[in-house]
Amino acid sequence: MRKILTGGCCCGSVAYTLEDQFSSFYFCHCEQCRKMTGSAHASNLFTSPENITWLHGQDQLKRYDDPVRSFTQVFCTACGSALPYQSKSGKSLVVPAGSLNDEPSKKVDARIFCSEQTAWHRAGLNSPEFDKFPG
């Protein structure tokens, strides 16, 4: 039985569905992914380019393709949330895991570009955990 996942942006301007069929799932620690996400790593799932149905908001999408390096970012123009995009090669649909409303069944395959992982992220992995802001 096919499992359908839903996703979208933070403000609700963009929504999509796709099948829970991913070929790979990576946490990327490269400098570009850190800059694009504003975080310690990008969390991207890869699937076939046809595996998406946009429900609404495609007119709210903005795409940035780096003119030199091979990286892309697509985001909602209203709230800035990262959203799925077709790779420059056209061979994959890249789905930011955080844009999903549901848990994918695919487990993380690897953490990549770990030589570029920041010291603050490594140290933070051993920090205390809370369910909300501490205090």
Structure letter (DSSP) for residue 121: H
Its pTM stands at: 0.92
* Tokens (6 digits) for 22: 């991913």
Would you give the distance in Å from CA 49 to the centre of its chain?
Answer: 15
Given a cut of 50, the residues of the chain with pLDDT beneath it are none
pLDDT for 58 equals 96
* Predicted local confidence at residue 71, as pLDDT: 82
Q: In this predicted structure, what is the pLDDT of residue 70?
A: 75
Encode burial over 28-47: b for 16+ CB neighbours within 10 A, e otherwise: bbbebbbebbeebbbbbbbb
CA 55 to the chain's CA centroid: 18
Domains of the chain: residue spans and CATH: 4-117 (2.170.150.70)
Q: Report pLDDT for 82.
A: 96
